[in-house]
Structure 1
Amino acid sequence: MNVGIVGGYGHVGRQVARVLVGHYRLLLGGRDPGQGQRFNHRELNGRAEVRELDLWDARSLAAFCSGCELVINCAGPSYKVLDRVALAALASGADYLDVGGDDPLHHVLPAQLPPGRRVVLSAGMLPGLSGLFPKVLAASFERVDTVRCYSVGLGRLSTTAAEDFLLSLGNGYGQASMGWAEGRAVKSAVPADEHFERPWLVGGAVTAYPYLTTEQQRLFTALRVPQAEGYNLFDGGHLRAALGRIQGSPPALRHSAENVASLVQASALDLAGRTPYQLLAVEMEGLQHGEPQQASAWLRAGDGSALTGTVAAICALQWARLPEGTHYAAQVMDADDCLRQVLRWLPHTRIHVTTELEEGVL
């Protein structure tokens, strides 16, 4: 299969290429083909084709997608790219996979695809793996009564990631201070906790904010869980303070260059002298073997870009088994296979599960 990777030698695209090389014929697209060629020869042994690509130029994008059977978009900011790459891929006859996209892209894509075609969105770490990971723990329950999902990361944001983060605040990705009860989003009764502690946290207490994403809403609906919460955790005060200042500004100005730079700087200050990490955790209560049971699981990795790229590549490797139509990755990917492959490609990743009866790896 011919696979084109838009942003193919950026941080996320490189990891997608590392995993997929040898499985598919790869075409890597980006603004600096010289950089792409160096990556191709040093890490892929020259097995990919590199092409200059300007995703804001319709002809350049159409030429890149031509001949591809699958186009994977790793370029951002995803909330600005929106449907540019997706529509070019579909017009060329290719399937489409996006590490982001999320609900805003889903809403503007064609309602019906030609027979046999596939589009998969949100195939990264968050969203993506964050929606898959809880399903593995839920599979051990006969009935899930409550769920709490957590995410926290410590690392220097890229300019693109910071801008995407700010754009997500007003684009329907999620809602602050919201929880889940009886099949719908409700105002959370849980206040922010500035001294949140759990055994799986890396450096001690963090700040926890209730935050309900649309991915979590789909997860909670699928699990038929009566009560659930999602939380954003902040490890360090600089990013949290910068975000608070930015959220106080008019929505149209939130993703200004000044605010993006402020977020990048704040993330670097929080990271200073520490080791970067990404962590997803889930806590559940329900019935296991006919008895009330509590269980938790956590996944800890280093580089968020590498984790995002690995999940997207795993999705591409599962492509022939995925259903036709437009879907979110967490709804159609094989969660067990995804976690096994994450551990294979990112061996420093750690996954742990704890129940009232035992501890171990998933």
Structure 2
Amino acid sequence: MMKTDIVVIGGYGHVGSQICRILGAKYPGKVYAAGRNLSRAGEFSRSTGGQVKPLRLSADGPLDPELLEHMKLVVMCLDQQDTRLAEACLQSGTHYVDVSASGGFLTSLQKLDPVKHGFKAAALLSVGLAPGLTNLLAAKAAQELDHTEKIDISIMLGLGDSHGQAALEWTVDHLGAAFEVTEQGKPRRVSSFTDGKVADFGFDLWTHTAYRFPFPDQMTLPLTLGVPSVSTRLCFDSRSITTAAALLRRSGLSTLLRNRTLRSLAVRAFGRFRFGSDRFAVKVDVHGTKDGKPAAIEYGITGVHEAAITAATAAGVVLRLYEAAPEPGVYHIEQLFTLHTGGEALSLLPADADGSGPPFTYALDGATYWTRSTRP
């Protein structure tokens, strides 16, 4: 039986619904918005004029084998605690795309041996803004140098933007997190909202102090790009809120967010109140050598509505995988795609060295690109 369906788990959520709309316009009737709440899925389906269909599905339970027979591709928009669902997809020949920032899950899935586990399809990880476009920016900048020694990634999120519940909870849950990064080829333990560094995001955004945060791009790029030192930092467009978060961490009060009631209040506050704008920005600073001399290059992207660019990036890679998938295995976005820049415009291109597969270009509308370099 030919697999034709695309199932977006969390497909009626903030990001998932936008992914569904893009894919549903291209493949009407073949895209399913899946989740536990069939009523919400049905309501969303009706809002698309039936281009997207509803499906009741729990990401925590086993997948119906009959359902897997029809599923060509699954897009996961929810954080996963283990790899069972992804493994079931890959073993049945269903491609798997993950739109999450759960470093532990991504690392666990990446460690699975495709041959040993009998994978018949491809998993694509690090899809979205961060990880995702940050990975592609880092890879593009690193290609400009002969040797890359260090990559510093900075992310600015607009608190006036509308963020999904899952994204808000993930951010609050990690305000006091400790995590591992790679420095000079060795692991180092660091903490969220420490070790601030000034980042110039270009245009009229000026400079902001960004602090360490456990985005998984810094955990995977040392492996995919072979770079000895990678760090990722976060700030908000409201400097006062960024400073308050850093003070909360420094004082130790961030541990109070482990209390369920206080955590719920913090998530609600981030979701209800608009402290800033709807703009986002990401920037990579890459240091190394060019022609035997020290060199550095800065690449950046800015735009509005972080969820929209996340959805656009995810939809772009899904459209490519639907038509031309790689060999079975587990990949990160920078291993299969590259960024094409024309002026200030951005597009996704496949990274096929031989140009195999059908022609493909996907414009990332709404994002503006810039670069600066220091060359010998």
Normalised by the shorter chain, which TM-score bucket?
0.7 to 0.9
CA distance in 2, matches of 1:28, 1:212: 29
Instruction: Give 1:84 deviation, angstroms.
Output: 5.8
TM-score scaled to structure 1, two decimals? 0.77
- Is residue 98 of structure 2 the alignment partner of residue 95 of structure 1? no
SS of residue paired to 1:313: helix
SS of residue paired to 2:157: strand
1:360 is matched with: none
1:34 is matched with: 42
CA distance in 2, matches of 1:344, 1:4: 21
Pair 1:20–1:266, CA change in 2 (3 A) = closer
- Of 150, 161, 165, 2:171 maps to 165
1:347 is matched with: 365
Q: How does 1:274-313 map to 2 (within 5 A)?
A: 274-288=276-290, 291-313=293-315
**1:305 aligned partner, one-letter code:** A
CA distance in 2, matches of 1:132, 1:185: 23
Contact 2:155 2:282 in 1 (8 A): yes
Contact 1:8 1:17 in 2 (8 A): yes
Q: How does 1:1-362 map to 2 (within 5 A)?
A: 1-21=4-24, 23-24=26-27, 25-30=30-35, 31=37, 32-41=40-49, 46-56=50-60, 58=62, 65-74=68-77, 76=78, 78-79=79-80, 82-83=82-83, 85-87=85-87, 89-90=89-90, 93-100=93-100, 102-106=102-106, 109=109, 111=113, 112-154=116-158, 155-168=161-174, 174-175=179-180, 180-181=183-184, 183-186=185-188, 192-193=195-196, 196=198, 198=200, 200=202, 202-211=204-213, 213-236=215-238, 237-238=240-241, 241=244, 245=248, 248=253, 250=255, 254=258, 256-266=260-270, 269=273, 271-272=274-275, 274-288=276-290, 291-319=293-321, 320-330=324-334, 332-336=335-339, 339-341=346-348, 345-356=363-374
Instruction: Give 1:295 deviation, angstroms.
Output: 1.7
Pair 1:285–1:224, CA change in 2 (3 A) = same
Structure 1 vs Structure 2 CA RMSD = 3.7
SS of residue paired to 1:141: coil
Structure 2 unaligned spans of 5+ = 350-360
Contact 2:299 2:369 in 1 (8 A): yes
2:354 is matched with: none
Structure 1 unaligned spans of 5+ = 358-362
Pair 1:352–1:5, CA change in 2 (3 A) = same
For this pair of structures, how many residues does the alignment match?
339
Instruction: Give 1:65 deviation, angstroms.
Output: 4.4
Deviation string 1:199-256 (CA, Å, 9 cap, x unpaired) is 61754442322456543243234444455543222332336535764764559x6272
TM-score scaled to structure 2, two decimals? 0.74
Runs of 4+ deviating beyond 6 Å: 169-172
Instruction: Give 1:316 deviation, angstroms.
Output: 1.6
Pair 1:186–1:14, CA change in 2 (3 A) = same
**2:280 aligned partner, one-letter code:** Q
CA distance in 1, matches of 2:189, 2:56: 48
SS of residue paired to 1:17: helix
SS of residue paired to 1:163: helix
